[in-house]
Structure 1
């Protein structure tokens, strides 16, 4: 049975998903794409879907970065990847209690809304459970692409896991990740 909710956009986590994670990076010259990331984003565009980024940037709240540095790094990511339709980042720390910081759903809902979509029409691809939890809480699809820092329990709990960003995109484009409306109740929460 076809999924009643079409996939219309893919939102990517930034650090360790789109680009190599350099903790609290404020230097655009250090930005390097993750393996298969450039091809994965190009494939999403070729499929006619929107592309966006949702990223926690607590370095701002911690006083390790200023917002202009985060924006400069984001601009470099845009340059390398050919631009994104929407960017959302959370400048808050874990203790701030905001609604935007992943695993809360605020950024996912905001990015979907900026694209004129319901969260059920988007997918989130990330490297840790917080990315998947934010997606599920918003009502979006989610795929985990583990890295060496992804905890084994996060991988075990994820309903959909791909070895590379390109594989995650192909799984999504093939309809292999159902919308929450289509997902069976026994699926994991990620």
Structure 2
């Protein structure tokens, strides 16, 4: 599929590196293919934005600035992260689309021309709510998420979401977006 994509929102933990749990900046390592995926997006002139829940910030385990420095160092154009715990009930924590809507305000994006790549169903739910392409990767929590999806073990609003593509990893997802897969 060759899409006219303005921007790609990438989840952090389990999608571009680390694990299916939060790893603090400085200890986080990108998957080798994530570097290639970021380079491919840059080559195509596609904006790259982070799209990540980081409740450790609310718990005092890290700072927004540390995550921003790390992600921009990887090549991200802008950083959107939710620093709140689940209990805070904010509008930015996935599956809410608050981070995506903030990007629209700041960059004038058309979210129907954007894609979200993530390893959790919450990533896809946020994307679905605003009309983004939804790509599930099988890294991090993605294998379990994909198995639950295939076995129809999601309930309520979760069931209404269907990925546009399921990729083995972030590089395959980006290749699909660029019509290379």
TM bucket, shorter chain = 0.7 to 0.9
Aligned positions of 1:107-146 closer than 5 A? 107-146=99-138
126-135 or 111-120, larger mean C-alpha shift: 111-120
Shift of 1:143: 0.3
The residue aligned with 1:65 is: 61
What is the distance in 2 between the residues matched to 1:145 and 1:41? Answer: 15
Q: Structure 1: which 4+ aligned runs deviate by more than 6 Å?
A: none
- Stretches of structure 1 that go unaligned for 5 or more consecutive residues are 177-190
> Does residue 33 of the first structure (1) align with residue 34 of the second (2)?
no
Distance 1:155 1:32 in 2: 29
On the 8 A contact 1:31/1:73 being kept in 2, the answer is: no
In structure 2, the gaps of 5 or more residues are 152-161
CA contact (8 A) 1:104 1:134 kept: yes
Secondary structure of 1:114's aligned partner: helix
Following superposition of structure 1 onto structure 2, how do residues 1-190 of structure 1 map, counting pairs within 5 Å? 6-21=4-19, 23-28=21-26, 30-61=27-58, 63-67=59-63, 70-79=64-73, 81=74, 83-147=75-139, 149-150=141-142, 151=144, 152-154=147-149, 158-174=163-179
Aligned CA-pair RMSD:
2.4
Give me the whole-angstrom Cα distance separating, in 2, the residues matched to 1:42 and 1:18: 13
Are the aligned partners of 2:136 and 2:163 in contact in 1 as well (CA < 8 Å)? Answer: yes
Counterpart CA distance in 1 for 2:120 and 2:22 is: 17
Q: How much has 1:27 moved relative to structure 2?
A: 4.2
Question: 2:14 touches 2:139 (CA, 8 Å); kept in 1?
Answer: yes
TM-score by length of 2: 0.81
Q: For structure 1, which segment, 137-146 or 155-164, has the greater mean C-alpha deviation from structure 2 after superposition?
A: 155-164
- Is 152-161 or 46-55 further displaced after alignment? 152-161
The change in CA–CA distance for 1:122 and 1:98 in structure 2 (over 3 A counts) is: same
Aligned residues between the structures: 167
